[in-house]
Amino acid sequence: MALEAADEGTEETPRPRSAATSGSYTSKDITVLEGLDPVRKRPGMYIGSTGPSGLHHLVWEVVDNSVDEAMAGHCTRIDVTLLADGGCRVVDDGRGIPTDPHPQHKGKTGVEIALTILHAGGKFGGGGYKVSGGLHGVGISVVNALSSRLIVEVDQNGKHHRLEYANGGKPKGKLEVTGDAPRGRTGTTVSFWPDATIFDEVEFRAQTILERLQMYAFLNRGLEIRFRDERSPERSDTTFKYTNGIVDFVRHLNTAKEALFRKPGYFDQAEETQEVEVAFQWNTGYNEGIHSFANGIATTEGGMHEEGFKKALTNALNKYSRGKGLLKEKDENLAGEDIREGLTAIISVRLAEPQFEGQTKTKLGNVSMRSLCERATNEKLGDWLEEHPTEARQIVQKGIQAARARSAARQARDLIRRKSSLEGAGMPEKLRDCSTRDRDQAELFIVEGDSAGGSAVKARNPETQAILSIRGKILNVERARIDRMLKNNEIQSLIGAIGAGVGEEFDVDKIRYNKVILLCDADVDGSHIRTLLLTFFFRQMRPLVELGHVYIAQPPLYSTVVSREKVYLKDDVARERFLAEQAPRKFEFQRLKGLGEMDFDELGETTMDASRRTLLQVSIEEAATADLVCAVLMGDDVEVRKHFIQTNAKDVRFLDI
């Protein structure tokens, strides 16, 4: 899970219409943006945001082109380097961006077209690519538009070509041959430096890039990807290469879990212009971890390939169970959710014309892929079960235990469902609801403890802000089955307040609040409570996180006095900046370890007032990585957790653990 600041206190206040804006409207009032200008004018339309996710999106766009070369069978190695001066360089040994003149654009080569014209690329037809992750042809040109400097080098036909751009895509000359290419080498090298006038910050995070590069390597068996961070001399180079592809991916995701059997299963099937491969392994945990990809793109909302796999999985396991007498005649068939308990699976499909839909365009809509995945799973999984009777029996027994737990949980779930009402009846005792019935305006603050909850109630805007106090640390759902989870009073309160169900039955359209905000202390206990809550939302209300409804409040960590007025500082970085600005004066700082140390008016002013506060929005950039992080941080393996924290210590400002 990733965190990105949403500073609501800096939004521009709409200006009232004046005579100047309400007068005539003619053709001269229409602005025509040409070339790469639209990207610089509205970068969010192309990369999502100008925060950390948008910054790293530039890297993905360049690497995606190299990965497409690998999927086409022309690239075996990709090198990604974070340069000491803040740039990023991506090198591949593919065919190289075409350097010959384009027939429809006289005087321009393929390289120049790709770097300066939106929606231009080799992935719209023709023989360049059978499958690719690029769909719109805006990738490398968008990177050029949002960079203060970009250099592209192409080794092709025995020659080394070079072209440089500056200030958002303005060419510094023409493509030129600067010498001979290294013997036998072909490929593309792209070096770029993000434009600091566009992005909130231009410092790349190594761990974010490493996680994505590892995923690329898992999904492309045999592809070697190397990473180097020249900003940190103590960092050693990292190389990813997986001869078993997605089978190794499943092993990796189950690192912090106890596998039900040693070797993951695998099958694949290809038909005409599409193919599917699946790797799977059950563990002793209680959470489902199915992660799907289409042409290397993470389909976090699922789609037709997941539908086909899930349907056939349920059918194949029940058919096998009946045939082997593991289910008696009187027994009901195992439900899909019971069979999938503890399952870790990777579904990777490749197809010529992927159709993406859903709210975040990460849901595969090709009906033909559902048929292929269903057919392949019915046939190949059935064969695997017959060939692995011991593992098959373990899977079925786990499903039967899950079914019993689900039956035991049904009463608890029904009780919670009866308590949940969009009209507010039967709400949790600790909930102090807001008066608005406009969900888009409503916010729910989750606060630990009665003292902090009381302050938050006094500090809130009662029209739009609801307060739910919880007692201590909620149940760690990573280690608990749903029947036990639903008996927990604090979790019952959370489910009742949000009002959209839980688990398989969660319906994000029924949530009662547009923002669910975690308001916890800035100490270790507060961080632990926050992590428990995030784990619960990720595991049991995942669409709430995926669609951006979960936020983390940012109460100040320090306070000091300037000219008899109290000043609040968010964190250590803010304190150091404050000291630098106020030098050489001396100040005494009070560290605010708990919300209870703040008066209610101070809490409202610094943390809850929508015009002044800063919220961190929680997002799932890579669902598989988020799955692994939850399992590591909240699982039973202490050594794995210790190693994870030590590895990520240098990037602690990006973590919330």
Q: Which residue out of 306, 521, 605, 627 is catalytically annotated?
A: 521
- Is residue 525 flagged as an active site residue? yes
- Is residue 448 flagged as an active site residue? yes
What single letter denotes the amino acid at residue 144? N
Instruction: Please report, in angstroms and rounded to a whole number, the separation of the first and last CA atoms in the chain.
Output: 11
HEC string of 538-552? HHHCHHHHHCCCEEE
For residue 109, give Cα distances in angstroms to 74, 117, 152, 157, 188: 21, 12, 13, 15, 15
In 3D space, the residue among 256, 255, 258, 278 whose CA is nearest the CA of residue 268 turns out to be 278
What is the 8-class DSSP label of residue 303?
B
Q: Which residue out of 7, 211, 523, 656 is catalytically annotated?
A: 523
Q: How far apart are CA 654 and CA 452, in angstroms?
A: 26
CB-CB contact of 526 with 520 (8 Å): yes
Task: Give yes or no for a cis peptide into 584 (omega within 30° of 0).
Answer: yes
Q: Which residue out of 4, 68, 448, 490 is catalytically annotated?
A: 448
- Which residues lie across from 291 on neighbouring strands? 346
CB-CB contact of 428 with 420 (8 Å): no
Q: How far apart are CA 185 and CA 190, in angstroms?
A: 16
In 3D space, the residue among 450, 448, 426, 424 whose CA is nearest the CA of residue 437 turns out to be 424
- Is residue 112 flagged as an active site residue? no
Q: Which residue out of 211, 307, 525, 571 is catalytically annotated?
A: 525
- Is residue 656 flagged as an active site residue? no
CB-CB contact of 466 with 497 (8 Å): yes
Helix H or strand E encompassing 147: strand 147-156
Helix H or strand E encompassing 74: none
Q: Is 75 helix (H, G, I), strand (E, B) or coil?
A: coil
CB-CB contact of 264 with 250 (8 Å): yes
Active site residues: 448, 521, 523, 525
